Structure 1
Amino acid sequence: MAITAQMVKELREKTGAGMMDCKKALQETDGDMDKAIDFLREKGIAKAAKKSDRIAAEGTTYIEVNGNEAVIIEVNAETDFVAKNEGFQTLVQDLAKHLLKSKPTSIEEAHESKMDNGVTVTEYVNTAISKIGEKLTLRRFALATKTDADAFGAYLHMGGRIGVLTVLTGTTDESVAKDVAMHAAALHPKYVSRDEVSAEETEREREVLKQQALNEGKPANIVEKMVEGRLGKFFEDVCLLEQSFVKNPDEKVKQFVKNAGASVASFVRYEVGEGIEKRQENFAEEVMNQVKK
């Protein structure tokens, strides 16, 4: 049976599913509208689509390590209550194992990749949405590799509220790598070292500091020297190696790492919901929303 645009539009209005999903459902059911609705429901797509405009800013980070490979991911839910749900935790672990095995190069590729049971990540998440009853999102991930002479540092803070994965070269001591990860969780650096800060960002900061000094009425002949001193403080704020080590503020992270005969190759720090505009709800409203589901 020929599938018309009007049929797709009608199915979209009834289920809230995407155009391509509706078209596929109609093709699979030979244009039978009721069967197409059931098809989408069985796949979890209809229920997931109805929740697509909700805000999922809670959730967890998770780290999976297998030999010399590791992955850190963030999976979001609408409420912290669901984030602690056993079904949600299983979903997160399954996704991490799959990403570590399939190694997609982008989040879009990850969503379309097929898991061992033959369904795509998107389909797997949609099925979980239909069971759990909240919008769930695989938001981001990062893969890391090392050699036998290196170490991973995996640290989850507050049960996964913050996750940090570090890679240290020159040492196999995972405790050193984990200490660096714990430090990054606490102080939120953006870069490993000054070398990673772009010339544009450095110059922008220099101009801001210069204007601040002039606004403070400092003499023009000493402004430049003041700016360079304050720029050093900027690097301490954003660069991991320049920061005072949380376990021993008398030494920098770079000194702590050097004492271990190591170097920081990379780190990834995820904090649940960072950058997502959260909807403000009070506790009573949240409970009522759960009851109504």
Structure 2
Amino acid sequence: MSGISAAMVKELREKSGAGIMDCKTALGECDGDLEKAIDFLRKKGIATAAKRAGRATSEGTVQSYIHMGGKIGVMVEVNCETDFVAKTDDFNDFARNIAMHIAATNPVGIVPEDVPQAVVDREREIYKAQVLEMGKPEQMVEKIAEGKLNKFFKDSCLMNQQYVREPDKTIADYLNEVIARTGEKITIKRFARFQIGTE
């Protein structure tokens, strides 16, 4: 590792966003080859993705998707930690795929906490009325309605939804795969979906 200069470490830090010691180790393992060191750090990120939850995500991209000849449009903001990752095909493909998924499924929020309380209350009342209509005993109404509400969150909140391209995984699963590949914290920050003829 004696041939690794401070300038090389600095350049790798700027390109990868990794810490000094990680950059030194990566350059040492890869005989000073910058591109190989970047790959080394990204592969190492697979093991450390779960530890990145507290990191700031101040870089990222806004992607859009237009469907049905301009009848449905989606814009989504996806954030990451470094400009390096924000420019990768993997990250941008993920953001575009999320925009396409939102166009197809029309989620009401990213996570259950995003759903307005008025919507939750309305859904709960509808479910209670449905359960009573089915002739279920009063003491079971609340429990069954709660189960239906949980299913509503699963179907209607982006992170819980089954990914339209790969229904065996949720959007949360897909996000975690990309976090593992990039070695960075990635967040779906917000989205807007427009459809002609709806408000």
TM-score range, shorter chain: 0.5 to 0.7
Q: Distance in 2 between matches of 1:205 and 1:271?
A: 23
- Out of 70, 73, 76, the position equivalent to 1:163 is 73
Partner of residue 109, structure 2: 191
Q: CA deviation at 1:148?
A: 6.8
- Relative CO higher for 1 or 2, CA cutoff 8 Å, sep ≥ 6? 2
Secondary structure, counterpart of 2:73 in structure 1: strand
Within 1, Cα distance between the matches of 2:132 and 2:171? 33
2:97 matches 1:179: yes
1:1-293 mapped onto 2 (5 Å cutoff): 149-170=59-80, 172=86, 173-261=91-179, 262-275=186-199
Structure 2 unaligned regions, length at least 5:
1-56, 180-185
**Aligned 8 A contact 2:74 2:100 in 1:** yes
Give the residue type in structure 1 aligned to 2:196. Answer: V
The code of the aligned residue for 2:198 comes to: E
Aligned partner of residue 135 in structure 2, secondary structure: coil
- So what's the TM-score if we normalise by structure 1? 0.41
Instruction: Report the count of equivalent residues.
Output: 129
Q: Secondary structure at the match of 1:274?
A: coil
Percent identity over the alignment is: 36
Greater C-alpha radius of gyration: 1
Q: 1:204 to 1:159 in 2, by over 3 A?
A: closer
CA–CA distance in 2 between the matches of 1:159 and 1:181?
16
Partner of 1:56: none
Gaps of 5+ in 1: 1-146, 276-293
Match of 2:9 in 1: none
Distance 2:127 2:58 in 1: 44
Residues 191-240 of structure 1 show CA distances to partners (whole Å, capped at 9, x for unaligned) of: 12211112232122112111110110112222222111100121133321
SS at match of 1:229: helix
1:254 & 1:205 partners in 2: Cα distance?
24
Report the Cα distance in structure 1 between the residues aligned to 2:173 and 2:79, rounded to whole angstroms: 15
Pairwise CA RMSD:
1.8
Kept in 2, the 8 Å contact 1:153–1:176? The answer is: no
Secondary structure class of the residue paired with 1:150? strand
Q: Which amino acid aligns with 1:166?
A: V
More helix by share: 2
State the Cα deviation string for residues 102-127 of structure 1 (Å, max 9, x = none): xxxxxxxxxxxxxxxxxxxxxxxxxx
**Structure 1 residue identity aligned to 2:65:** Y
> For 1:243 and 1:196, how far apart are their aligned partners in 2?
14
> TM-score, length-normalised on structure 2?
0.59
